[in-house]
Amino acid sequence: MNRLLVSSILLLAALRPAWAGTDESLSAMQRGDYAGALQTVVTPIENGVSSALDKALPPMVHGLATLETLVGDMYYYGHGVSRDYSEAASWYRGAAEKGSALAQSTLGDIYYYGRGVPQDYVEAVKWWQLAADQGVAVAQLNLSVMYANGDGVAQDYVKAHLYANLAAAHLPPGEDHDIAVKNREIVAKLMTPAQVAEAQREAREWQARANQ
């Protein structure tokens, strides 16, 4: 989180001469309305400035996604504002569509539990898949369960083992890591030796691509 906050501060400093919401943002920050302050930065960009920035400064899009994710976090966890899952989903979606892996992962959670949106396992799998492909270990763990149970996606033990294996390799020691290891073992018992070998091969190839 410290790294994300630093990135946001740098982006705010870079944008201050270019947008008209500076006074509004500063006033909001003085009132302690940090979500409002961030929104005064993000909304003008969302309304048309982002396309120009994308052409001239592609990295700016990633900075915008970080800001949108932070606003989403504020609404999702109720930090400085009343908790509002629907509003959080809207901000996370904007960030997720710009490629933010963290926003994609949380948006998967939102759809899985139906928080502020209709519960939709297909949408949950969609966003977890994007986050998992970017290396978010928790998304990999969640995706492994969806493939194992056939929730929102066709049941596939090879993919369930693959993502449980990746999650186990990437998660730090703790409860989630232990769950990933246990899930991998459970799924392996339902697979043929050939399927296990295929899942392990795909895991090695995924890691090799990630290391490039």
Instruction: Give the tens place of pLDDT for each residue, 141-168.
Output: 999 999 999 999 999 999 999 999 999 9
* pLDDT for 35: 53
Amino acid identity at 65:
A
For residue range 25-62, what is the model confidence (pLDDT) as tens digits? 434 444 555 555 555 544 443 444 344 334 433 444 56
CA torsion sign for 5, 9, 10, 14 is: positive
Average pLDDT of the segment spanning 17-22: 30
Please tell me the pTM assigned to this model: 0.72
> What rounded mean pLDDT belongs to the chain?
79
Q: Which residue has the higher pLDDT, 39 or 5?
A: 39
10-14, 25-29, 125-129: which has the minimum mean pLDDT? 10-14
* pLDDT for 65: 85
Residue 88, classed as helix, strand or coil, is helix
Report residue 172's pLDDT band, with 50, 70 and 90 as the boundaries.
very high
Are 126 and 134 in contact by the 8 Å Cβ rule? The answer is no
Rounded to an integer, what distance in angstroms lies between the CA atom of residue 70 and that of residue 74?
A: 6
**CB crowding 36-68: b at 16 or more within 10 Å, else e:** bbbbbbbebbeeebbeebeeeeeebbebbbbbb
* pLDDT for 10: 24
